[in-house]
Amino acid sequence: MNFKPSGINHITIRVNRIDRSEEFYGSVLGFELVRKMGQSMAVYKIGEEDTLVIVEAETSYDPNSRDFRVDHFGFYLNSSEEVDEMAAYLRDKEVTILSGPSNRKKGRFLFASDPDGNLIEFFYENE
């Protein structure tokens, strides 16, 4: 497998109150809102091609619980076939694949973890 990413496509972080975070990233920092995904997820454009995704934590309903962390980061691949090739490569290297490869509305993805359990997404999306 010849994996040479051109950069990090996105980083997804968990937040406790999506409304406050949307105000911060959109109004305070001035990031461009690209799209909302339901009530609990928003995607902001950073630079030319990168994005920051904020997603409300599952524990947001509990004021005593705080879930601050990076959820995952994603590498963009050039085709659905490359997603499958990456999955085969990772399996060969005995890397844990947590989900996929699977289809989504506009493409294909897989999630794997690094040795410390950090979640990495490898994906392709149609334009």
Q: Which residues contact 119 (CB under 8 A, 6 or more apart)?
A: 71, 72, 73, 98, 111, 112, 113
Q: What is the mean pLDDT of residues 42-46?
A: 92
The pLDDT of residue 114? 85
**pLDDT tens profile 53-76:** 999 877 655 666 666 678 788 888
Q: Which residue has the higher pLDDT, 58 or 90?
A: 90
Domains of the chain, earliest start first: 6-64 (3.10.180.10), 77-127 (3.10.180.10)
**pTM, to two decimals:** 0.71
pLDDT (mean) for 96-108: 93
Q: Per-residue pLDDT for 103 more than 90?
A: yes
- Give the Cα separation of 41 and 102 in Å (integer): 21
